[in-house]
A and B are shown apart, each in its own frame.
Chain A
Amino acid sequence: MTWLRSLWQSTIGKKVVMAVTGLILFGFVIGHLLGNMQVLLPDGARRINHYSRFLHENAGLLWGARATLLIALILHLITSLQLTLRNRKARPEPYRVKRWREASYASRTMMLSGPIIFFYIVYHLAHLTTGQAHPDFNPDDVYRNLVIGFGVWWASGAYIVAQILIAMHISHGAWSMFQSVGLNHPLYTPPLKMLARVLAIGIAAGYISIPVAVMTGLVT
């Protein structure tokens, strides 16, 4: 197992961990969006509650996915903290004047958007999964939880801000994960970067449409 240890101790190995765990979390962001967008379809109340029942009836699938996501999230967090500490040390003295040529705002603020997203995830779970942060939670009626939960303006506001940060995180991460496993090609990388940005905006727009639909009364 020496190879595994030397991989984990190297900066390249840690970047691979970031990429693979990032891919798992990115997959969840897409799956979660597709599942929850059902609320906007005709007869959304029945559909979303049916979907929720389906997930809970397949406990193996649900807990398998939850365990995978939890492990991916923990590894993503620990590795990013280790890399950030290392990077701070490698860059101790700031420039008096610094101009960026290429680095996007999103790419330079991954360690800002990331931690905020983490705290948002904790709140979001307490809000709509376990209910401690919800005014009137009913574990069997996801639809009602959603409508009542997003009826609170600041809860919707926090949700929308978090989606914008997630979009920023994804706009860099979704192409960066390819680079971090050694995939870069002059033909495919530029469109991939574009795709990452389009996906990030699309995902954020999709998620934001849910509280907006509640607040504007389209979903009641």
Chain B
Amino acid sequence: MNFTLRIWRQKGPASPGDLVTYPMKDVSPDMSLLEMLDGLNERLIAEGQEPIAFESDCREGICGVCGLTINGIPHGRRRSTTTCQLHMRMFEDGEEITIEPFRAGCFPVVKDLVVDRRAFDRIIASGGFISASTGSAPEANSLPVSKKMSDRAMDAAQCIGCGACVASCPNGSAMLFVGAKISHLGLLPQGQPERYDRARKMVAQMDREGFGACTNTGECEAVCPKDISLEFIARMFRDYLRSVFVERPESGAGGGP
């Protein structure tokens, strides 16, 4: 298969970028898009040019590192698929393919197609965990979890933190990511003790980072490689509102009221 690639090249965070055209010939339909880019990079190196910087790690759709905007859609047109799982047979022979980084104010471009997504790490560090004493694992049956709740928690826990939700959102909002992270812990008994504090802290960090606000367009849900639902955004709203309206401020002293 033959393609015309238009790829975003940008030397560094402060330098201006632009699309550069690269013709690709004799591409195997069984190649993934990233493998094709590997091939292009080998060619660029052989020609003495700077290879295209892009991120990838597991290449099996579970690590969340890869992420390119392909023809205007984060992770490309195939639903429920990460960039690394997108194969060239999904494209038309002779097609022009435009590849851009995940764009958002909170995801500054580092180089070419690589963006800095550490804002997500800071949101997780602000509350996306449970506090538990380490030691030997407790008896599994001592903490019953219904199949229903475990399934819903897993639906949220599927989020791989790739950032496609932010990249697709017209407002650069991270609410699908934060909603999933708040919900997968909040749906399980282990997440209850810190549930509302977690919601408040993670939303506060999301706002501090400068992510936009949800306008319920549903674009994030449609591009999410793990099909995270807008329902989790609503759930985050409920937990956050409860943390604001119902929860009491921490008092220094223990004991009764």
Binding site for B on A (CB under 8 A): 2-3, 6-7, 9-16, 83, 86-87, 89-104, 107-108, 110, 172, 175-176, 179-186, 189
Contacts and interface: CB of A to CB of B under 8 A. Distances in A.
B184 interface: no
Nearest to A79: B213
Contacts of A182: 234-238, 241
A104 B222 CA distance: 12
A91 to B, nearest CB: 4
A10 B169 contact: no
B219 interface: yes
Interface in B225-254: 229-231, 233-238, 240-241, 244-245, 249
B73 A101 contact: yes
Contacts of A94: 103
Given A101-B73, A110-B215, A179-B216, A96 B245 contact: no
Given A12-B203, A90-B104, A186 B213 contact: no
A83 B211 CA distance: 11
Interface stretch (B23-31, B37-45, B170-178): B170-178
Contact of A93 (B19, B103, B216, B231): B103
Contacts of B210: 86, 89-90
A102 B219 contact: yes
A92 B105 contact: yes
A94 B171 CA distance: 11
Contacts of B180: none
Contact of B169 (A9, A91, A185): A91
B170 A87 contact: yes
Given A95-B69, A97-B71, A102 B203 contact: no
Point out which of B104, B203, B216, B229 has the most chain A C-beta atoms below 10 A from its C-beta. B216
Given A7-B244, A97-B100, A186 B231 contact: yes
A87 B219 CA distance: 15
A101 B169 contact: no
B103 A108 contact: no
Given A11-B203, A87-B212, A182-B236, 19 more contacts: A3-B245, A11-B207, A11-B214, A12-B240, A15-B214, A87-B172, A87-B173, A90-B172, A90-B211, A94-B103, A95-B72, A99-B77, A100-B219, A102-B217, A108-B217, A175-B216, A179-B216, A179-B230, A186-B231
Contact of B241 (A12, A95, A175): A12
Contact of B217 (A16, A89, A107): A107
28 contacts: A9-B207, A11-B175, A11-B207, A11-B211, A12-B240, A13-B244, A87-B213, A89-B210, A90-B104, A91-B103, A91-B170, A97-B98, A98-B72, A99-B77, A101-B168, A101-B222, A103-B219, A108-B170, A176-B216, A179-B214, A179-B216, A179-B237, A180-B214, A180-B216, A182-B235, A182-B238, A184-B235, A189-B231
